[in-house]
Copies of this chain bind each other. A is one copy, B any other.
Amino acid sequence: MEYADCAPDGSCVSEGAGSGKGRMRMRGQEREYKSKNLQAERRRRQKLSDRLLALRALVPIITNMNKATIIEDAITYIKELQKNVKDLSDQLLEMEASSEEEAKQRSETIDAAEEMNKCGIEEDVEVTNIDGNKFWLKIVIQKKRSSFTKLVEAMNFLGFEFTDTSVTTSKGAILITACVEGIYGETFAAAETRELLQEIIKGI
């Protein structure tokens, strides 16, 4: 790797390939003139070599250590990255389009909440024991997507069955009146059932 005819500081013994004016100068002047170009060229080469090394460090797949193949691998890597970026942004765009509805639902929910407040409707949960484990419910909650379904599911899961149910939506609120019956024979207090319901509603 080391140039045999040159000392580390750049002073060369070799005559060089000069065939032009440089050769015609006096010996001392010639050496100084050449030396300046020499050092600059060395700096340039080293800089380029360093950049190439940095590039090689950045590319994960390296088939060969050659200069040309390093650049080639970098090229394929850049193409791969560009493709990745394109695919990902396409996918993301698709995702965002499909989640637009979700955002719409969220804004609807906010609108509903505002309308409720504006009309002075307040959320309310009332539970009255009718007979044994049979309760009459009155629920006023903010309108959300699928809130009624979720409520029914949760109550079913807890062992309650809806019998006579009435649902109305108005002014951003859902008004539910229903009779529910505990089907597992357990008996609940009205207050207990009310807390259960409020917990469920909080989760909706």
Bound-state Cα–Cα, A142 to B167, Å:
19
Q: Given A16-B17, A78-B81, A72–B51 Cβ distance below 8 Å?
A: yes
In this assembly, does A74 line the interface, its C-beta being within 8 Å of a C-beta of chain B?
A: yes
Taking CB atoms and an 8 Å cut-off, the chain A residues in 117-151 that contact chain B are 143, 145-149
With both chains docked as a complex, state the minimum distance between the C-beta of A111 and any C-beta of chain B, in angstroms.
13
CB distance from A56 to the nearest CB of B (A): 10
Check B71 against A48 for contact (C-beta < 8 Å). yes
Per assembly, the copies of the chain total 2
**Do A58 and B75 touch (CB < 8 A)?**
yes
- Residue from B71, B98, B164 in contact with A99 in the complex, judged by beta carbons closer than 8 Å: B98
Cα–Cα distance between A92 and B91 once the two chains are bound (Å): 8
Are A78 and B52 in contact, CB atoms less than 8 angstroms apart? no
| Residues of the B chain whose Cβ atoms lie less than 8 Å from the Cβ of A82 | 81
Give Cα distance in the complex from A54 to B75, angstroms: 8
Q: Are B95 and A99 in contact (CB under 8 A)?
A: yes
- Assuming A15-B17, A74-B78, A98-B102, what are 6 further A-B pairs, CB within 8 angstroms? A15-B19, A17-B17, A58-B78, A81-B85, A84-B85, A152-B169
Q: List 24 A-B contacts (CB under 8 A).
A: A15-B19, A16-B17, A47-B68, A48-B67, A48-B68, A51-B75, A52-B71, A55-B78, A58-B79, A59-B78, A77-B78, A78-B78, A81-B85, A91-B92, A98-B102, A99-B99, A102-B102, A145-B145, A145-B146, A146-B146, A147-B149, A152-B169, A165-B167, A167-B167
